[in-house]
Structure 1
Amino acid sequence: MSSNLRIIRICEQCGIEFEARKTTSKTCSDDCAKRAYKARKRAEKVEGSNKQVERIKAKPIEDLKAQVYLTVDETARLIRISRRTLYRMNERGELRFVKLGRRTVIPRLDIDRLFEQPKSVSRPMTVVIQLSDCYTMKEVIQKYGISEKALHNLIRRNEIPKQYNGIYAYVPKFRIDQLLSPTVTPS
């Protein structure tokens, strides 16, 4: 059954303008239709191959997620950080390593705990102290004759709050005086 329709179209395969007899015609000739079909099939094969490659790439990560213990290399690959960063996290106590013979492994539960959101941790309120009631770090070093490293350790160990103004760090005078002033014992 032929149609009296005459529609001007552009061939999807070769780009030539042609007169179509049906509204569904996409190509100008049988040769172009065959070429378009082959191109479609080729594109489907390429897309299928790309999906297969993606599945193969994702499989090792899926396997790592299923394991109970991971090595340092596997953990680094899983969370995409360097081995050195993992060792630093171990030194800071953020991530526990377990030594099994000559192998170092990391429990999967500890890795998962890294990414859990802490439940509303209440932080102590920081009280702003006037800078006139504070020493600079240099003043403390000069007044009490201690080294810079000893001062930093003292501040960290006793959780003394620091305030910053420009490039200077300030610490409360009363806390430093409590810790470093010689105490007089009553006789």
Structure 2
Amino acid sequence: MSSNIQISRLCDYCGNSFIARTTVTRFCCKTCNSRFYKRKIREEKMINSHIETQNKISTPTTSSLIVDKPFLNINETCQLLRVSRTTLWRLIKDDRLKVTKLGSRVIIARDNIYELFK
């Protein structure tokens, strides 16, 4: 179906006047359409990035959650001491750091971590 409609419109991107053949045409050419689409996607990415940054700022970090716990697992202890898992296991093997096993889980008391530095 072809249309004989000719409507004078303004391009949503560049603002130039053009003759449209349909009532829903928004852009004067494919270039304006592509540029508008790319700008829209870029702005959405920037908004999403801003929201993601705000969420990261507002959520508590793992280190602040670790401070309140009396018992820590291996990963939390590594984060607290800022050492690798290998180093932590070496400390445990050398009996410099006392641990408690609950089934297959290894739990480290905060007091034992403090004793490591005495």
State the TM-score, normalized to the length of structure 2: 0.50
Structure showing greater Rg: 1
State the TM-score, normalized to the length of structure 1: 0.33
